Structure 1
């Protein structure tokens, strides 16, 4: 897996042997604010989170720990070896090899939202999908009423292509899922982005 470096963040290969990486992933599965707009059933214990990640990685999905280039952190339990906070994660996975469609997603913990980290992570992982995974098209999915994700994706050139009605069951109600897509000629990568 590559190291992805942007203007203000790094996406580091998520290491399932590193409890800090697994903890950030797990927190996105248990945080009520994120679960309200996510795909999740029951919250995950640390062991279940690690097993889920290992399974997905074995299937070829690439996960990255999202680390901004700052040193303040409200929670030292989720800082990396450099003392930087781990504030979320991103992933890229081949949805269809023959059609060269790659699915991307990213999650930022609520205390760190609103700082542009989600936008930069989505831009980096999309750039990586085109540059390194040979994607013809990159897709992303979100709960249809998730305005923050819609703003990030459309700001990066993604277009809302479809709505799957009643796709998820969240808090006692069925909700729709939006599917977004972008082709390389509609995407503007960060000129400062580096893939190592």
Structure 2
């Protein structure tokens, strides 16, 4: 069950990821609609537990909280996890954002709100001039989300990874601290 609230918006909350959340994270990560656009391997639960450091400080569940949801450890009936956002390498270089939502919540604006919350979190918590994110060239939804939040395309890693039967380009995006503050 998701842990304490780290940040909340109008419709979603970012909550700490707890050991009890492993089944949700592993099942969602096995879904081809999530796994293929991320370029991740298919993992069983044991492999997932080894490969995913849930104790990393900047990895959060994206949740829909009901009216009775506690800011601490809510009951299972009051919170619906719908995805994940993470920040990698924030302590020693330019932080990189990662995110996904389960498919039934795509296209509703939840992803944009969650990523905006994590950008605010990163810029409040870490002394960094910018944040970055990457998306495969075929992932129009993710690229559109980043561009709608003010990210600028900064580069392209050609034929970066073999995904879903073909070599795919990875598009690199960046958002400067001052650009974010000017846009909000």
- Scaled to the shorter chain, the TM-score interval is 0.7 to 0.9
Corresponding residue for 2:80? 85
Corresponding residue for 1:194? none
| Structure 2, gaps ≥5 residues long | 68-73
Contact kept? 1:28, 1:34, Cα under 8 Å = yes
Contact kept? 1:124, 1:190, Cα under 8 Å = no
Corresponding residue for 1:26? 26
Alignment of 1:70-109 (within 5 A): 70=66, 81-94=76-89, 97=92, 100-109=93-102
Distance in 2 between residues matched to 1:145 and 1:189, nearest whole Å: 29
Contact kept? 1:61, 1:91, Cα under 8 Å = no
Cα-Cα RMSD: 2.5
Contact kept? 2:157, 2:171, Cα under 8 Å = yes
Corresponding residue for 1:175? 168
TM-superposed deviation, 1:96: 6.8
Corresponding residue for 2:71? none
1:95 to 1:3, Cα distance in 2 relative to 1, 3 A: closer
State how many pairs are aligned. Answer: 175
TM-score for the superposition, normalised by structure 1: 0.80
Distance in 2 between residues matched to 1:61 and 1:151, nearest whole Å: 27
Corresponding residue for 1:149? 142
Corresponding residue for 1:65? 61
| Structure 1, gaps ≥5 residues long | 72-78, 192-196
TM-score for the superposition, normalised by structure 2: 0.84
Q: Which runs of 4+ in 1 moved over 3 A?
A: 188-191
1:5 aligns with 2:25: no
Corresponding residue for 1:35? 35
Contact kept? 1:61, 1:94, Cα under 8 Å = no
Corresponding residue for 1:113? 106
SS at structure 2 position matched to 1:187: helix
TM-superposed deviation, 1:190: 9.5
Q: In structure 2, which of residues 114, 119, 132 is the aligned counterpart of residue 139 of structure 1?
A: 132
